[in-house]
Structure 1
Amino acid sequence: MNLNNRTMETRRLRLLLELSRLGSMRAVADAMGTATSTVSQQLTVLAKEMGAALIEPDGRRVRLTPAGRRLAEHAVTILAAVEAARLDLAPEADPNGTLRVAGFATAIRAHLLPLVTELASDHPRLRVLVREHEPAEALHLLAADETDLALTYDYNLAPAETDPTVHVTTLWTAPWGLGIPTHADVPQTADTLEVFACFSAHDWIVNSRNTADETVIRILASMAGFTPRITHQADSLDLVQGMISAQLGVGLLPIGVATFPQVCLIPLTSPRVTLRAYAVAHRGRLTWPPLALVTDLLARRTATTAGDMPALSPRQSAR
């Protein structure tokens, strides 16, 4: 049989398998709830697809040829695999398989990893493959179908672009402030723009792998009447604080983070700076049990724990 450039429908395989079992097209038609002529036509099409005769006359009946018997043997395995796949992928099926997740460090460390521990016990056939990436990187992997779930963030002052091809689940929000040297003089009643204006002559520290916080800094600095001098980049919050301690500059930090002795964290209240975290997946794929389960568990977990967490940031002290 030449299978090059040929396709077949599993329905036709089912008809062939029933013919091998029942021995007549009429019996197959009765069992499958169709007409005898339909059975004959579909088996003729199947023979053309396979490039081999599958049935031959046997008196007033028909019987399978050697090629037909061989294909019927394959049909048992093929149809069983198709049924297993259907049951495996059904929305009500127990989640199993490999779920690929790409996301920023806090989402992984604070929320995903605890779930992985639970899943290992409750759903042992589900494997979670984790990759640490900043939002743009994670979304690129999602678009390339190299990950199933992207954990991302943006800021209220630098919202991410809307992509109609993905489904976005909001996970949590967290306020951010400005990290400054402890000796710096800032009025206690200063609003966000006044705080920024106090550091118009300072160097500024931004994320090395994502531009969102730099966008926020530039927007607020512009509103405060100056252009910030962006000079340093760091992907680690500890390194940002170390730079601030060394008086290399100032930078955004999440409210509640444990600060170094030489660092003071000033809340930004008017306008506020708020980080927003998301779980992002392709539209239409949330019916896949592993993806649906993990997305739902993340949403539930962050809904109950985000308010209790002192600091939720995309950049962590340990990589």
Structure 2
Amino acid sequence: MDVRRLRLLLELSRLGSMHEVAAELGTTTSSVSQGIAALARDARTPLVEPDGRRVRLTPAGHRLAEHAVTILAAVDAARLDLDPAAEPAGVLRVAGFATGIRRSLLPAIDDLARTHPQVEVRVHEYEPGEALDLLARDDIDLAITYDYNLAPASWRTDHDVVPLWEIEWGLGVPTSQQRSPFTAYADHDWIVNSRHTADEEVLRTLASMAGFTPRVVHRIDALELVDDLIVAGLGVGLLPRGRTSRRGVTVRPLRDPQVKLRGYAVTRRGRDRWPPLRAVLERLAHG
């Protein structure tokens, strides 16, 4: 099989449109279509099928696109062995949570714009479970996720996981309230994340250790809205320490045990040989 045609198929799986593939690779839509058709003849099976006015990959097309990642990465690796100065180039799709994007990805993108301007990073905001589902479907190349020391993630065998950093979390309460032990909040309403269960698992673990069952009333995604509910007296919740909370909210430290959120960069095993992904991972790991 012609590796150039495999690259067409891979880019089609990433971008979803022959027109976008043509624009990305500097060719014509007709050439892309002809290349995919020739690849289908080589594979002796249809690789695309109509989807309205567009096309989508068949199951065989998806499988071959997965093989194309490994094949093209190996070709790129061979070229890099011969030309260490080869410039990373291409579209890199990243899904992650807001704090991870702000803290790790944006500085990496800023550095790449100066050092590797041919790498285009496309950013999508998702919670860890959502991002890992996208990674499993090859809809993204990199997931920036998190777990907690009291609610560790379960990684798949085909995941490569790079730890990034840790953030201490505490108990967000109205500033007007006196400092009290964790058990004093047994009869309060609680606020947890609406899109990820990990912080609720941490809360229930802490509450169980303190001898009570938390009354979870509110499920909120945005930390700023959690602040608003706390100020309004509608509940308390876990929040990161060191973050600038809304006036009227104090984040008390938690001890015995501490709560730490841990950030990660997650890829499919073996994919980090692709130069644009490797360039981003290097910056995330050393950021």
- Where do 1:247-258 residues align within 5 Å? 247-258=233-244
1:112 paired residue number:
105
| Structure 1 residue runs without a partner (length 5+) | 1-6, 11-48, 50-81, 188-194, 302-319
1:148 paired residue number:
141
Between the aligned partners of 1:212 and 1:235, the Cα distance in structure 2 is: 12
- Where do 1:71-82 residues align within 5 Å? none
Q: CA 1:8 to 1:88, structure 2 compared with 1: closer, same or farther past 3 Å?
A: closer
Amino acid in structure 1 at the alignment position of 2:112: L
Whether contact under 8 Å (2:76, 2:274) holds in the other structure is: no
2:195 paired residue number:
209
Between the aligned partners of 1:97 and 1:261, the Cα distance in structure 2 is: 44
Post-superposition CA distance 1:73-101 (Å, at most 9, x none):
xxxxxxxxx99x93587454321111110
Q: CA 1:149 to 1:226, structure 2 compared with 1: closer, same or farther past 3 Å?
A: same
Between the aligned partners of 1:178 and 1:154, the Cα distance in structure 2 is: 17
Tell whether 2:287 aligns with 1:297. Answer: no
2:265 paired residue number:
279
Whether contact under 8 Å (1:89, 1:288) holds in the other structure is: no
How far did residue 9 of structure 1 move? 10
Q: CA 1:8 to 1:199, structure 2 compared with 1: closer, same or farther past 3 Å?
A: closer
Q: CA 1:201 to 1:90, structure 2 compared with 1: closer, same or farther past 3 Å?
A: farther
How far did residue 111 of structure 1 move? 2.0
Whether contact under 8 Å (2:77, 2:273) holds in the other structure is: no
2:251 paired residue number:
265
Q: CA 1:9 to 1:262, structure 2 compared with 1: closer, same or farther past 3 Å?
A: closer
How far did residue 183 of structure 1 move? 2.5
3-state SS of the aligned residue for 2:185?
Answer: coil
2:220 paired residue number:
234
Match for residue 159 of structure 2 among 146, 160, 166? 166
Between the aligned partners of 2:3 and 2:195, the Cα distance in structure 1 is: 48
| Structure 2 residue runs without a partner (length 5+) | 5-41, 43-70
Whether contact under 8 Å (1:180, 1:244) holds in the other structure is: yes
1:132 paired residue number:
125
3-state SS of the aligned residue for 2:271?
Answer: coil
Percent of matched pairs sharing the same residue: 53
Q: CA 1:116 to 1:219, structure 2 compared with 1: closer, same or farther past 3 Å?
A: same
Matched pairs, number: 217
3-state SS of the aligned residue for 1:198?
Answer: helix
Q: CA 1:132 to 1:8, structure 2 compared with 1: closer, same or farther past 3 Å?
A: closer
Amino acid in structure 2 at the alignment position of 1:238: E
Q: CA 1:265 to 1:90, structure 2 compared with 1: closer, same or farther past 3 Å?
A: same
Between the aligned partners of 2:226 and 2:145, the Cα distance in structure 1 is: 21
Between the aligned partners of 2:3 and 2:189, the Cα distance in structure 1 is: 66
Between the aligned partners of 1:252 and 1:124, the Cα distance in structure 2 is: 39
Post-superposition CA distance 1:172-225 (Å, at most 9, x none):
0110000011232334xxxxxxx3211000000011111110000011101111
Query: Which protein has the larger Cα radius of gyration, Structure 1 or Structure 2?
Result: 1
Post-superposition CA distance 1:208-263 (Å, at most 9, x none):
11111000001110111111000001111111111000000000111111133321
Tell whether 2:206 aligns with 1:244. Answer: no
Return structure 1 stretches of 4+ with deviation > 6 angstroms: 7-10
Amino acid in structure 2 at the alignment position of 1:106: T
- Where do 1:59-74 residues align within 5 Å? none
3-state SS of the aligned residue for 2:176?
Answer: coil
TM-score by length of 2: 0.71
Between the aligned partners of 1:96 and 1:272, the Cα distance in structure 2 is: 42
